[in-house]
A and B are shown apart, each in its own frame.
Chain A
Amino acid sequence: MSYLTNEQKTINNCRFCHMCRHVCPIGKQTGKEIHHARGRALILSRLLKGEKIDGEIAQAVYECALCGGCVEQCVTGFDPTTFTRAARTEAAAENLIPEAVNKVVQNLLNSGNPFGLPQAEKNKGFADLIKDLPEKADVLLFIGCTASYKTPEIARAAINLFKKAKVKFTVLKEEKCCGLYLGDLIGAVEESRQQASLVVEQIKNTGAKTVVALCPSCTKVFKREYPEWGLELKAEVITITSYLERLLNEGRLKPKKLNCKVTFHDPCRLARDLEETEPARAIINSLGMDLKEMFFNKAKTHCCGGGLLDLYAPELTALTSKGRWEEASRNADTMLVACSSCQLVMKKTQPENMKLKNLIEIFWEQCENS
């Protein structure tokens, strides 16, 4: 039985419907019919009628950021990401994963992270800050692969903020990958579940009652996919932005003001999947910044392209991120991000006249000497 069979209703409802095409960040840039839900559903509907998946179809279903823009747009509740994921599982089962995507899959399976980097290097950027942290604590700061390997300065900022606020916390010394990327690439199959279950065990061993995830994608998989995969984190899961807002409200962090005009790029996973938009704004407000909202903000945010897509289709994320910079430039010369993946993607196409700052890092800078 095809993995698409369970998605028949959604496929058949989406295959002739164009009503979400205008919100796709990739389709908006490329104009291609396969870069929106209808085009993919039309192709997949033919598979439901007996056609076989092939390399071209597999390539098409991986050219999606799974950002949920189409889901948010559909007033009748259809979710095209479900059939895109199912088609990816189908492609994986038929050994049709495109080469560039498969490289990332193999990195995840063999190295435990999407970059194919050694586990031993994961904490290098902040090892000094965590070496004396206890093995067990009520609060666990979950760093995530992207911040660990690629933006350790953000991890440092978060750790320093927790120390400043005198939070009793710990950080996993050999943190495993949350499993989101593998799930997004090959589906909710045994390999993804197994990878995730390692994390569940790690977290359990810390005794943490609260898991603060630095990355919105990690938060999303903990809160949404893990229960679907039959995994249970017996802890409160909270985003870094929500936790920092909590510390602000408790008076445990008192940042100095920063007088500048900024715009904020809502990470799609945070704004749509987790329906969280205000804590980041509360932090921006606490810094005294003049926030000029983008037209496409909050749940209507335009995805930058995403860290995962950037790993195997950087030509697409170059287009999506340029589009987002154009939107940002109409509001301020400084874009704030609250996600390491967004930061990496946006940095690659950063115009000369625009600044890019991570909210967590700026927040630490303003709290450091307060």
Chain B
Amino acid sequence: MQTNSLMSQMILGELEDAVGREHISLSQVEKIAHSVDNFWLPRMWVDRGETPPVADWIVYPGSPEEVSAVLKIANYYKIPVTPWGGGAGSQGGAMPVRGGIIMDTKRMNKVIKFDAESYTVTAETGIIQQNLEWEANERGYSLMHYPSSIGCSTLGGFLAHRGTGVLSTKYGNMDDLCVSLEVVLPNGEIIHTLPVPKHSVGPDLKSLFTGSEGTLGVITKAEMKIFDIPESRRFQAYMFHNLTDGIRAGRKVMKRIKPSIIRLFDEPETQKLIKRVMGINKPGVYMVFGFEGDKAITDVEANIIHDICMESAYEELRPELGEQWWKQRYDFFYPPHVFDLPRMFGTMDTVSTYANIEKIYWAMKRAIEDNFPQAQFIAHFSHWFDWGCMMYDRFIVENPPQDPAEALRLHNEIWNTGVRAAIANGGTLNDHHGIGLKLSRLMREQYGPAMQVLEGLKKSLDPNNIMNPFKLGL
């Protein structure tokens, strides 16, 4: 839509009426800043001197009522709306691919209430997660959601893609950590999910909206669990000869106790990242365990982990090396450690049962490296469950094509190949980064006939298809 047309100005007037003139921007600077998230393609696009899709209006609502007013306007004029939290997602979920409105939620950034009795905190979803965590820390609590992007992204963003953090093995992902939500539906109605996450009152509404990536409405408030800061948090690290031994050890540990962290790095990632950032230079694969809680319990857990791992590990590293990993866990994500242009790279995280996960590792590795000799495949296994674990695998192409269209083609071909290998062997399209634009085209392959359930929901809640179009395959 041309922003200098008469109708654009009329709509602008309505939006200003809804949120206040000072909370709307048409500046090119803000539009560009809201056109690139952490997805490789728009970053590459900008790097090659191109401009990704930009919104027509950047709108900063300050309350669910303002969100409602904006969505009503958008519905009436059939204007696409892309919710934007931190804009730090890796899947292109916040890209305004059809222009329209970017709804930046970060004005809604207040902590509303700590409930010390129930161990929950309620906050507006535009708060940067780290700021929420710090407010909890000031009171002696933690939300126990520690992704590397904790300082980059909002509470709402993490809920919208059902994100996970470093401690998820013990505490769960964002859906597990969430007690209830306030959501503004595409028609502007403000609704609340039930006040508790476990009940027998029909399908769980909360779980419909967590992971919906802004396609079914805008999450505006969330009540989240909080935890006491643990008395003891310990780390132990081991070197194994190979992945099989490491996965077996992790599975055995999960049968006995619930650590907060299990992280197993494959050989290439052990060499590439662990050596570079931590200076550990040993053959095989590096595995770190974190566990926490009452000291009496962690003392027992330490022994259990030690006994299980030393059945097959060739070396137990000093605990300081596990602690060092913990202290430096975010360092991997600062430049120049983090993968960045000019390289092409992608995180093809998937999740599966123990029976399948190592098979998926080799299938994806072969699929990528056999079909794309210029690509390297590295992985670690970082979020573990009773039934299986996830694999955080990445491909890296050192010198992708300079031509942006060629680079895009290669990028998408690699993705298609890799994730199809995962799905074919019992894995999922994604574990915790979401679908966004990046994997939208593959949702039907993942779900098959079940896709109609999501499509039906979308059609019912968003008949004008204004909410985050072309994402999630919807």
Contact = CB atoms under 8 A, between A and B. Distances in A.
A18 B33 CA distance: 12
A258 interface: no
Interface string A42-62: 110110011000001101100
B330 A19 contact: yes
Contact of B331 (A13, A33, A46, A75): A75
B152 A21 contact: yes
A60 B25 CA distance: 13
Contacts of A74: 334
Contact of A19 (B134, B152, B336): B152
A224 interface: no
A86 interface: no
Interface in B337-369: 337-338, 340-341
B430 interface: no
A43 B109 contact: no
A315 B196 CA distance: 40
Contact of A56 (B28, B88, B109, B335): B28
B57 interface: no
Given A31-B60, A31-B106, A43 B130 contact: no
Contacts of A30: 106-107
B128 interface: yes
B464 interface: no
A21 B30 contact: no
Contacts, number: 101
B340 A16 contact: yes
B151 A33 contact: no
B38 A43 contact: no
Interface string B404-415: 000000000000
A18 B88 contact: yes
A166 interface: no
A355 interface: no
Contact of A78 (B28, B36, B130, B335): B335
A28 B52 CA distance: 26
B186 interface: no
B231 interface: no
Contacts of B150: 22
Contacts of B38: 16, 18
Given A16-B36, A42-B33, A76-B337, A22 B330 contact: no
Of the candidates A30, A32, A39, A78, the one having the most CB atoms from chain B within 10 angstroms of its own CB is: A32
B331 A76 contact: yes
B107 A31 contact: yes
B151 A21 contact: yes
Nearest to B32: A43
A23 interface: yes
A366 B341 CA distance: 59
A20 interface: yes
Interface string B88-121: 1000000000000000111101000000000000
B33 A39 contact: yes
Interface in B1-41: 25, 27-30, 32-34, 36, 38
Contacts of A22: 128, 130-131, 150-152
Contacts of B106: 30-32
Interface string A189-205: 00000000000000000
Interface residues of A, number: 36
Given A18-B151, A19-B151, A60 B29 contact: yes
A295 B109 CA distance: 18
Interface string B50-72: 00000000001000000000000
A127 interface: no
Nearest to A330: B138
Contact of A49 (B49, B88, B105, B151): B49
Contacts of A60: 29
A30 B131 CA distance: 14
Contacts of B29: 34, 43, 56-57, 59-60
A15 B37 CA distance: 11
B336 A76 contact: yes
Contacts of A59: 29
A187 to B, nearest CB: 20
B87 interface: yes
Contact of B334 (A23, A45, A49, A75): A75
A17 B138 contact: no
A14 B336 CA distance: 10
A88 to B, nearest CB: 15
A42 B152 contact: no
Given A28-B128, A30-B107, A39-B33, 5 more contacts: A16-B36, A21-B86, A49-B49, A75-B330, A75-B334
Interface of B: 25, 27-30, 32-34, 36, 38, 43, 46-47, 49, 60, 86-88, 104-107, 109, 126, 128, 130-131, 134, 137-138, 149-153, 330-331, 333-338, 340-341
Interface of A: 13-23, 28, 30-34, 39, 42-43, 45-46, 49-50, 56-57, 59-60, 73-76, 78, 295-296, 330
8 contacts: A17-B334, A18-B38, A18-B153, A32-B30, A33-B87, A46-B32, A56-B28, A295-B138
